[in-house]
Structure 1
Amino acid sequence: MDSQTPVFGHIPSTGILYQQPPSSEQIAKANKVAKVKAVLKEFAAISLIGITVVSTLFTVRSCSDDADRQTVQVVKFQMEVGK
Structure 2
Amino acid sequence: MNQTPSHSQTPEFGHIPSTGILYQQPPSSEQIARANKRNKLKAFMRDVIAVVVFSSPILATPFAVRSCSDDVDRQAVQAVKFQMEANHERSN
What TM-score do you get using the length of structure 1 for normalisation? 0.73
How large is the RMSD of aligned CA atoms in angstroms? 2.4
Instruction: Give 1:1-83 correspondences, 5 Å limit.
Output: 6-83=11-88
Return the index of the structure with the highest Cα Rg: 2
Q: Which runs of 5+ in 1 are unaligned?
A: none
Unaligned runs of 5+ in 2: 1-5
**Cα-to-partner distance string for 1:21-60 (whole Å, 9 max, x where unaligned):** 2222222111111111111111112222343334433322
Q: TM-score, normalised by structure 2?
A: 0.68
In percent, how many aligned pairs have the same letter?
Answer: 64
Count of residue pairs brought into register by the alignment: 82
Give the match's secondary structure for 1:21.
coil
